[in-house]
Amino acid sequence: MTIMIDRDRLFSSMAENRAREVVAHIGFLRNLRQLYEGGVTQTRLAQVNAVSQPAISQMLQRARVEAPDVRPGTHGGTAYEIAARCAAGEIDPATMRAELIGWECDTPMASAAYPDVDDARPTPEGGVNHPIGRALTHGFLTDEDYDLILDALAD
Distance CA 39, CA 24 (A): 23
Distance CA 9, CA 23 (A): 21
Distance CA 99, CA 86 (A): 11
**pLDDT (tens digit, 9 = 90+) per residue, 21-75?**
999 999 999 999 999 999 999 999 999 999 999 999 999 999 999 999 999 999 9
Q: Residue 28's closest CA among 7, 43, 8, 48?
A: 48
Distance CA 80, CA 111 (A): 26
Predicted model pTM: 0.80
**pLDDT (tens digit, 9 = 90+) per residue, 99-154?**
999 988 655 445 555 555 544 444 444 455 688 889 999 999 999 999 999 898 88
What Å distances lie between residue 74 and 64, 83, 106, 116, 154, CA to CA?
A: 18, 11, 15, 34, 21
For the chain, the distance separating the N- and C-terminal CA atoms, rounded to the nearest angstrom, is 57
**101 within 8 A of 129, measured Cβ to Cβ:** no
The residue count of the chain comes to 155
Q: What DSSP character marks residue 79? A: H
State the angle between helix axes of 7-37 and 42-49 in degrees (0 to 180), rounded to the nearest 10.
Answer: 150
